[in-house]
């Protein structure tokens, strides 16, 4: 702990080490000193290296592969092709649906996207594998590819009926509304661009498989490997102690994972395969490109009468991804009439995937820009517009919110930003050649819940161990679970060590949808409570205990010392007590899984998302909320946009650790700035190739692009959302940032940019 932290702690009500304290990340020192070993940094005896060969066309057939030169190159152990790689079983999907095909080949003959894996070379060294992979010759029969949503041959796509949300008569009410806007918004293909690339080391020992792989979901991925290779689930061990960012991309075992594990089995040697940066743009999906139209009808006072919303997202030729575009549209504002429908369009891409707040993020871009447009049309302040249409309950589920501090967020954000000083007309604020714009937008993310399990051990020396197969990709899981165990047990946080990232620990479900913190603090709280009960029970009942015979029904543990609540009798450390009763540990396995769950339901709870609890289950609708206030400077001559100020007020319920929550929110806001101004996957129209698939050409914000960001927590504990009263944090922050910036750019320039990113050529 540094002096700086101590100062922070002093100014906060919660104790540093308790839940709600501003404890710095307990994994920080290991990461900074290099003591933290990431998955693919493991040093193994006899390690071999695999390198992939990807398709250079986006559609067609591989007609021939000549691997002779590669096979005889120095150090080469094997060249795998669709003909030579071992056959795998099909695996069930993450919803738990059974496989659609009996067999699976991660190397293909039928190409459906550029970069798809066709062959792999395994060699003694990485350099040998790279050199030999360049010698593999591939011939194709190329057919025309559908490169993106704008391709006419792609058509209107496939309706996803499950996404339809309707009440009232939206079309008729829109037609009759005195004030109407109807606008279209587009977001491009985006990528997660985590600093740590995807990759893995696979090792077989008999029919036991160990995989070191960065993972947001050890148990889900272990299930996939077990199914591919037809071995029992228990035989697969996933190890992922540290992760250099995932942002949604690291939850599934992918084709390259299968190639490495198959190669390891075929060669009976451990195999390491790490995707190079361009392969990180084609081996798994980023955020799907989206198109939406938002039609809003209102009365002259600004009260919304109807919203008609239509959305489309791209998906793959041979895989389905739905980016739910109506998710924010359907709940943010009160409206008597509503209709939202969505189609998907198949294009020649790898299956798109989850990127921070999938669905909510592009959904908010549509509705939060449209509200700004309506406010401008009516001459109403955009913040006032949002208050006029404030949804007092969930308009779709027709249930009260568990908690919704959005009004408080608008008020706190506006106050801190100085919104009252905004001059309403576009182009009315400037500083020399810089046009200044102020924009606002709201955001939300549902509280996703699931059941969790954890093991808490009290050891002979009084230290505590927490074990869970959940993970920390930078959010702070290690830290908040240490705080939860320390507070529940009454021991100093330095005495707690948290072990994560090993599928042989107590099982855990996916780290996705901002659910892990709520699930795991609940499970650790429960397991630690059980361990404490056992400790106290032993202290009162064991004949060798110094507390034996004391007329007390309970004991207190504080700062790692056991005492009676009234102070009579002895007081001793947990270590001294464990010595006295001759115990070397106390262990409790606590879970929040319903008692009537069958073993299969339990297995599915950890390895699929089939048992996730709907956020509108029961009496309430549960969501986190936020309001972003943004200032931009737009150069009048050059059209360059700089975000100069951000104030965001957010409701994530109770915060387990405000320091980490603020860091998460800021990370989301920074990602939102990138999305608004920079990020865009560019596809070559001739061969459907991502041309900017590297970190030099795929633009991401750097420190120089990021202004001072102020975050304000307006949450209150929400007992309906989680055991400790927290709601989701990690994804919330990004939702609403891009529309707040687009709205600010309109205020600065009088120009609406409805296609992200907002680049200078769209402004001049
Ligand atoms: N937290 C808190 N109080 C709460 C809830 C959370 O203080 N009430 C803090 C905790 O430090 C917790 C963190 O916020 O560890 C994230 O909590 P939450 O978002 O609720 O849940 P998850 O742990 O499931 O986070 C996953 C979420 C997702 S889905 C993406 S995508 C994402 C994100 O977290 N990817 C990230 N944040 C990321 N941060 C980093 N550094 N890297 C990523 O890849
Ligand atoms: Mo987050 S995109 O749900 O991993």
CATH number of the domain residue 251 falls in: 3.90.1170.50
Can you give the residue range of the structural domain that contains 97?
39-144+195-211+225-281
H or E, element range at 676: helix 658-677
CB atoms within 10 A of CB 667: 20
C-beta 515 within 6 A of ligand 2 = no
How far apart are the CA of 514 and the centre of ligand 1, in A?
6
pTM of full prediction above 0.85:
yes
User: Are residues 376 and 458 located together in one domain of the fold?
Assistant: no
Pocket test for ligand 2, best of 513, 518, 675 (most atoms within 8 A of CB): 513
How far apart are the CA of 249 and the centre of ligand 2, in A?
7
Helices and strands, number each (H, E), in the chain: 16, 32
**Ligand 1 atom 1: the closest Cα is on which residue?**
661
Contact (Cβ atoms closer than 8 angstroms) between residue 442 and residue 383: no
C-beta 353 within 6 A of ligand 2 = no
User: Are residues 464 and 488 located together in one domain of the fold?
Assistant: yes
Question: Could you tell me if residue 753 is left (phi over 0), alpha (psi between -120 and 50 degrees) or otherwise beta?
Answer: beta
Cα 261 to chain centroid distance, Å, stands at: 26
Ligand sitting nearest the alpha carbon of 473: 1
pLDDT given for residue 569 in this prediction:
85
Q: Is residue 160 part of a domain?
A: no
**Ligand 1 atom 4: the closest Cα is on which residue?**
655
User: Are residues 295 and 256 located together in one domain of the fold?
Assistant: no
C-beta 512 within 6 A of ligand 2 = yes
User: Are residues 21 and 71 located together in one domain of the fold?
Assistant: no
Residue 573, helix vs strand vs coil: strand
Q: Is residue 149 part of a domain?
A: no
Last residue of a domain, one of 580, 607, 634: 607
C-beta 220 within 6 A of ligand 2 = no
| Phi and psi angles of residue 69, each rounded to the nearest 5 degrees, phi first | -60, -40
Which is nearest to 606 in space by CA: 481, 724, 511, 498? 511
User: What sections of 507-641 are H helices per DSSP?
Assistant: 516-541, 574-581, 599-607
Q: Is residue 219 part of a domain?
A: no
pLDDT given for residue 3 in this prediction:
35
C-beta 513 within 6 A of ligand 1 = yes
Q: Which long-range contacts (CB under 8 A, 24 or more apart) does 124-129 make?
A: 124/48, 124/49, 124/75, 124/77, 125/49, 125/75, 126/49, 126/51, 126/272, 128/49, 128/73, 128/74, 128/75, 128/76, 129/49, 129/50, 129/51, 129/75, 129/76
Question: Could you tell me if residue 364 is left (phi over 0), alpha (psi between -120 and 50 degrees) or otherwise beta?
Answer: alpha
Contact (Cβ atoms closer than 8 angstroms) between residue 651 and residue 714: yes
Last residue of a domain, one of 262, 281, 300: 281
C-beta 248 within 6 A of ligand 2 = yes
How far apart are the CA of 328 and the centre of ligand 1, in A?
20
User: Are residues 320 and 274 located together in one domain of the fold?
Assistant: no
C-beta 402 within 6 A of ligand 2 = no
User: Are residues 653 and 632 located together in one domain of the fold?
Assistant: yes
User: What sections of 140-217 are H helices per DSSP?
Assistant: 170-176
Contact (Cβ atoms closer than 8 angstroms) between residue 739 and residue 755: no
Contact (Cβ atoms closer than 8 angstroms) between residue 375 and residue 739: no
Q: Is residue 176 part of a domain?
A: no
Q: Is residue 184 part of a domain?
A: no
- CA atoms of 563 and 466, how far apart (whole Å): 24
Last residue of a domain, one of 590, 607, 624: 607
The beta strands (E) that lie in 652-700 are given as: 683-684, 689-690
Which is nearest to 483 in space by CA: 4, 7, 23, 13? 23
User: Are residues 274 and 406 located together in one domain of the fold?
Assistant: no
C-beta 20 within 6 A of ligand 1 = no
How far apart are the CA of 358 and the centre of ligand 2, in A?
7
How far apart are the CA of 661 and the centre of ligand 1, in A?
8
Which is nearest to 355 in space by CA: 189, 474, 519? 189
User: Are residues 439 and 316 located together in one domain of the fold?
Assistant: yes
Q: Is residue 408 part of a domain?
A: yes
Q: Is residue 731 part of a domain?
A: yes
Q: Which of 227, 323, 662, 731 is catalytic?
A: 731
Which is nearest to 560 in space by CA: 550, 548, 570, 572? 572
Ligand 1 nearest-atom number relative to CA 245:
44
Beta-carbon contacts of 653 under 8 Å, excluding residues fewer than 6 positions away, are 403, 624, 715, 716, 717, 718, 721, 722, 725, 726, 727
Q: Is the dihedral of CA 422, 425, 426, 427 positive or negative?
A: negative
**Ligand 1 atom 11: the closest Cα is on which residue?**
476
| CATH code of the domain containing 389 | 3.30.365.10
C-beta 260 within 6 A of ligand 2 = no
**Ligand 1 atom 8: the closest Cα is on which residue?**
726
The total domain count for the chain is 3
User: Are residues 64 and 203 located together in one domain of the fold?
Assistant: yes
User: Are residues 463 and 565 located together in one domain of the fold?
Assistant: yes
User: Are residues 111 and 235 located together in one domain of the fold?
Assistant: yes
Ligand 2 nearest-atom number relative to CA 250:
4
How far apart are the CA of 730 and the centre of ligand 1, in A?
4
pLDDT given for residue 209 in this prediction:
98
User: Are residues 66 and 126 located together in one domain of the fold?
Assistant: yes
Cα 633 to chain centroid distance, Å, stands at: 30
Q: Is residue 170 part of a domain?
A: no
Q: Decide if 301 is catalytic.
A: no
- Averages of pLDDT over each 10 residues, the chain, 764 residues: 37 72 97 96 96 98 98 98 98 94 98 98 98 98 94 89 98 98 98 98 98 98 98 98 98 98 98 98 98 98 98 96 98 98 97 98 98 98 98 98 98 98 98 97 98 97 98 98 98 97 96 97 98 96 92 90 89 97 97 95 94 95 98 97 98 98 98 98 93 97 96 98 98 99 98 98 93
Beta-carbon contacts of 215 under 8 Å, excluding residues fewer than 6 positions away, are 39, 221, 238, 240, 243, 250, 251, 471, 501
Q: Is the dihedral of CA 632, 634, 639, 640 positive or negative?
A: negative
Q: Is the dihedral of CA 118, 122, 126, 127 positive or negative?
A: negative
Cα 133 to chain centroid distance, Å, stands at: 33
């Amino acid at each position: 702990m540094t002096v700086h932290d101590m100062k922070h702690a002093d100014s906060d009500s919660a104790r540093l080490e308790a839940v709600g304290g501003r404890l710095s990340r307990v994994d920080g020192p290991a990461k900074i000193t290099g003591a933290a070993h990431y998955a693919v940094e493991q040093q193994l005896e006899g390690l071999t290296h695999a390198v992939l060969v990807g398709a250079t066309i986006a559609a067609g057939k591989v007609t021939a592969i000549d691997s002779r030169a590669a096979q005889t190159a120095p150090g080469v152990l094997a060249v795998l092709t669709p003909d030579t790689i071992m056959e795998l079983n099909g695996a069930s999907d993450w919803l738990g649906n059974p496989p659609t095909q009996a067999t699976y080949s991660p190397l293909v003959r039928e190409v459906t996207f550029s970069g798809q894996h066709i062959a792999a070379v395994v060699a003694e060294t990485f350099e040998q594998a790279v050199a030999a992979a360049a010698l593999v010759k591939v011939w194709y029969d190329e057919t025309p590819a559908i490169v993106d949503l704008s391709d006419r041959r792609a058509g209107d796509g496939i309706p996803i009926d499950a996404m339809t949300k309707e009440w009232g008569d939206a079309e008729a009410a829109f037609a009759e509304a005195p004030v109407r806007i109807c606008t279209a918004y587009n977001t491009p293909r985006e990528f997660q661009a985590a600093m740590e690339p995807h990759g893995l080391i696979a090792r077989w020992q008999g029919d036991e498989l160990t995989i070191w792989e960065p993972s947001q979901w050890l148990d889900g991925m272990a299930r996939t490997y077990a199914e591919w290779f037809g071995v029992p689930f228990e035989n697969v061990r996933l190890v992922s102690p540290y992760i250099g960012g995932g942002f949604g991309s690291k939850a599934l075992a992918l084709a390259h994972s299968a190639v490495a594990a198959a190669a390891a089995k075929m060669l009976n040697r451990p195999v390491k395969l790490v995707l190079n940066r361009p392969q990180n743009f084609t081996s798994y999906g980023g955020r799907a490109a989206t198109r939406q139209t938002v039609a809003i009808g209102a009365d002259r006072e600004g009260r919304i009468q109807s919203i008609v919303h239509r959305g489309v997202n791209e998906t793959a030729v041979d895989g389905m991804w739905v980016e739910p575009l109506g998710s924010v549209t359907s709940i943010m504002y009160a409206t008597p009439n509503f209709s939202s429908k969505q189609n998907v369009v198949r294009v020649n891409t790898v299956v798109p995937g989850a990127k921070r707040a999938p669905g909510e993020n592009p959904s908010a871009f549509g509705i939060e820009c449209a509200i700004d447009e309506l406010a401008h049309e009516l001459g109403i302040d955009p913040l006032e517009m949002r208050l006029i249409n404030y949804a007092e309950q969930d308009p779709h589920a027709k249930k009260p919110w568990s908690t919704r501090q959005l009004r408080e967020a608008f008020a706190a954000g506006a106050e801190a930003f100085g919104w009252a000083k905004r001059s309403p007309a576009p182009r009315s604020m400037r500083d020399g050649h810089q046009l200044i714009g102020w924009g606002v937008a709201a955001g939300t993310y549902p509280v996703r819940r699931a059941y969790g399990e954890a093991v808490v051990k009290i050891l002979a020396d009084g230290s505590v161990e927490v074990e869970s197969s959940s993970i920390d990709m930078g959010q702070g899981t290690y830290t908040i679970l240490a705080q939860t165990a320390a507070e529940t047990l009454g021991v100093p946080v330095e005495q707690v060590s948290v072990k994560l990232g090993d599928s042989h620990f107590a099982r855990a479900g996916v780290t996705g949808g901002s659910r892990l913190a709520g699930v795991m603090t609940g499970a650790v709280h429960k397991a630690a409570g059980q361990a404490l009960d056992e400790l106290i029970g032993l202290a009162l009942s064991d004949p060798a205990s110094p507390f034996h015979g004391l007329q007390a029904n309970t004991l207190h543990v504080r700062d790692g010392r056991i005492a009676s609540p009234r102070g009579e009798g002895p007081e001793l450390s947990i270590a001294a007590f464990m010595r006295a009763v001759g115990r070397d540990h106390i262990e409790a396995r606590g879970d929040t899984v319903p008692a009537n769950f069958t073993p299969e339901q339990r297995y599915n709870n950890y390895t699929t998302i089939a048992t996730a609890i709907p956020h509108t289950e029961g009496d309430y609708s549960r969501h986190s909320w936020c309001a972003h206030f943004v200032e931009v400077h737009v150069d009048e001559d050059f059209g360059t946009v700089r975000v100069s100020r951000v104030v965001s007020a957010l409701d994530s319920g109770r915060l387990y650790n405000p320091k980490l929550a603020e860091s998460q929110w800021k990370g989301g806001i920074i990602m939102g700035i990138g999305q608004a101004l920079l990020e865009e996957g560019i596809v070559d129209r001739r061969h459907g190739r991502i041309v900017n698939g590297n970190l030099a050409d795929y633009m991401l914000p750097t420190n120089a692009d990021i202004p001072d960001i102020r975050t304000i927590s307006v949450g209150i504990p929400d007992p309906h959302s989680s055991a400790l009263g927290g709601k989701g944090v990690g994804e919330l922050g990004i939702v609403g940032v891009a529309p707040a910036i687009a709205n600010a750019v309109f205020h600065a320039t009088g120009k609406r940019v409805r296609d992200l990113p907002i680049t200078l050529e769209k402004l001049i």
